[in-house]
Structure 1
Amino acid sequence: MNAPVITPPPETMPMTDPQDVLSLVAAMRAKAEPFAVATVVRTVSLTAAKAGAKAIIRADGTITGGWIGGGCARGAVLRTARQVIADGEARLVSVQPEELLADLGIAPGDERDGVRFAANRCPSKGTMDVFVEAVLPRAQLVICGATPVAKALCDLGRRMGYETVVHAPEADLDAFAAPDRRVAGYAVDREAAQTRFVVVATQGAGDATALRAALESDAGYVAFVGSRLKAAALREEMIRAGLPQAAFERLHAPAGLDIGAITPEEIAMSILAEITVLRRRGQRAA
């Protein structure tokens, strides 16, 4: 009688075909889902996975595809993957036998010259170096209005790597050269998978409609291009109409850093500078 075949659980099933891994990466990117790619770059002695092996790891630390070996290295790699997704900084993990780490004067968990060390307590006593990098969805810059400031924002935001989504009256949408998406009207999506920054640059043409839609979305940053007096008047109007005061805690009005900006391009630069400060500060904190 043949010996029974033991099938590993789904999360540890090898996915050895590189095309399968690449297809999974493309599918997860299309869904704007953050994840990490762990790649074995070097092995010494006996290890289950060899150089070139890859695994796709979700933000909760689960392996959703690929393979990087058994439990000897997996725990350290999964912990690192969660940190990499949180702060966007790639890391190299070196899993080595405890006695080898001791000879080097290194304790498990130490970091030296950009390398994080972990102990391999398995009988194999192998060494495996794994490079872990994050694949994060592009931050989304949502622009309401078809004013010169809105057009400058779209152009500069696209060059800075943002996914640009423009909302404007249908007749004005062609005024934008190359946004990632054009949407007629100011019905800003209430929820999105990625980080969003919404800028209302209507400047007199649909201010209240666009600002209310922006404040009712899940965007962590909402900016209004206009004077403090105009923003205060809109706030009072919308609170009387039933919008909670807490919704205005995210509002930056006037939009952008105070750099003395005058031209549309300078105003757009000041807004993206403010967004950059908030965005990078959050990543450093993570």
Structure 2
Amino acid sequence: MTTQVEVLDLVAQMKTAERAFVLATVVRTVSVTAAKAGAKAIIAADGRIVAGWIGGGCARGAVLKAAREALADGVPRMVSVQPENLLAELGVSAGESRDGIRFASNMCPSKGTMDIFVEPVLPHPSLVVLGASPVALSLAAQARTLGFHVTLAAPSADLASQPEADTLIDGYSLGELTETKRFVVVSTQGKGDEAALRAAVAVEAVYHAFVGSRRKMAALRAKLIAEGIDATAIDRVKAPAGLDLGAITPEEIAMSILAEITQARRRGQRAATSPTDKEKIDHADDRQPAHSRIP
């Protein structure tokens, strides 16, 4: 079995296991280089190359740096490792980016050029819903269509039918959850509020929310603090959950929560991929009638 086949097999295994990693692929080489076009390597979330090979130290540092950044923002990038004289001819410096390419210096005697595509492969984001309310059930169903791995936790006696969820937990003891970007919503709406909120604040997540009024959340906060729960953890919970869209029905409320989760999920990614201010101005000028641009 070739190294490339082994790499692709491991890619499939890591995707199935919902593990974050980067697939680095050499797409072009010029002159003498250790790795050739088509060479691949898998870089784990901890920065280790766990399979494959893309050359020695001449490219490794630049690729590992790009891999860390790609895992952080979810955006692929191209790295071009070139000798100093070629960078100078292009008018760029090591570490500079131009037209979507990050340039790095090749200090090895070979003085070859390698272009490496760095592609982050991230597990599905995880949505943990606590409760069996109509909002909770609608939230779980809608989230799956958006690519979330949905865990629904609620006493089985509260569920009238099988909910649309990837993982179903009887009660609020969450146990071990998927290791990925996680969002937690409590939507018990009067049935087990305290137990569900207690479990929710114990989970590490980028977003915590409670479906209920500020007054209700304040009362629950006081109770949980009296039980010894850290106030800082409770204060991370957004209440009421969701963007203010004027939602009324359970489906609309669920949609408003998912809209807010999408904001939190994509924060940082749009900044990494959106055009510069100058590009926005140029594109805006392109959309204007010709007469409006005459000085």
TM-score band by shorter chain is 0.7 to 0.9
Shift of 1:166: 0.6
- Alignment match, 1:265: 251
- Paired position in structure 2 for 1:249: 235
1:102 is displaced (CA, Å) by 1.4
Question: 2:146 corresponds to which residue?
Answer: 160
Q: Which one of the candidate residues 78, 83, 87 is aligned to 1:97? A: 83
Shift of 1:47: 1.3
2:290 match: none
Separation in 2, partners of 1:172, 1:25:
40
The verdict on how the C-alpha distance between 1:238 and 1:33 changes in structure 2, with shifts beyond 3 A counting, is same
Q: Is the 8 A contact 2:75 2:269 kept in 1?
A: no
Distance 1:177 1:218 in 2: 24
Could you list the runs of 5+ residues in structure 2 that have no partner in the other structure?
273-295
Whole-Å separation in 2 of the counterparts to 1:228 and 1:25: 45
Gaps of 5+ in 1: 1-14
Q: Which shows bigger deviation, 64-73 or 98-107?
A: 98-107
Q: TM-score, normalised by structure 1?
A: 0.88
The answer (yes or no) to whether the contact 1:149–1:265 under 8 Å persists in 2 is yes
Paired with 1:226 and 1:71, the residues of 2 have a C-alpha distance of 55
Equivalent AA in structure 2 for residue 148 of structure 1: P
Aligned to 2:275: none
State the 1:192 CA deviation: 5.0
Q: Which amino acid aligns with 2:248?
A: I
Return 202-211 or 212-221, whichever deviates more.
212-221
Deviations 1:250-282 (A, max 9, x none): 111111111111111111111111112222225
RMSD: 2.1
Superposed, 1:99-178 pairs within 5 Å as: 99-173=85-159, 175-178=161-164
Distance across 1 between alignment mates of 2:165 and 2:262: 20
1:214 aligns with 2:214: no
Q: d(CA) in 2 for partners of 1:283 and 1:113?
A: 18
Residue 151 of structure 1: how far off its partner (Å): 1.3
Q: Which residue does the alignment assign to 2:291? A: none
What's 1:25 paired with?
11
Matched-pair contact (CA < 8 Å) for 2:137–2:164: no
Instruction: Say whether residues 1:229 and 2:212 are aligned partners.
Output: no
Q: Deviations over 1:201-236 (max 9, x none)?
A: 111111111111111222232211111221111111
Q: Distance in 2 between matches of 1:21 and 1:264?
A: 45
Q: Is 1:183 the equivalent of 2:175?
A: no
Measure, in 2, the Cα distance between the counterparts of 1:92 and 1:282. Answer: 19
State the Cα distance separating 1:141 from its structure 2 match. Answer: 0.3
Q: CA deviation at 1:241?
A: 2.0
Code of the residue aligned with 1:263 in structure 2: it is T
C-alpha separation between the residues in 1 aligned to 2:155 and 2:139? 17
Measure how far apart 1:56 and its partner are.
0.9
- For 2:32, give the aligned amino acid: L
Cα distance in structure 2, aligned partners of 1:117 and 1:16: 30
Paired residue total: 272
Other-structure match for 2:189: 203
Question: What SS does structure 1 have at the residue aligned with 2:94?
Answer: coil
- SS of the residue 2:235 aligns to: helix
| Cα offset, 1:172, TM superposition | 4.5
Separation (CA, whole Å) in 2 of partners of 1:173 and 1:44: 62
- Whether the 8 Å CA contact 1:151–1:176 is kept in 2: the answer is no
Once residues 191 and 265 of structure 1 are traced to their aligned partners in structure 2, the CA distance between those partners, rounded to angstroms, is 26
Q: Letter of the aligned partner of 2:181 in structure 1?
A: T
**% identity of equivalent residues:** 61
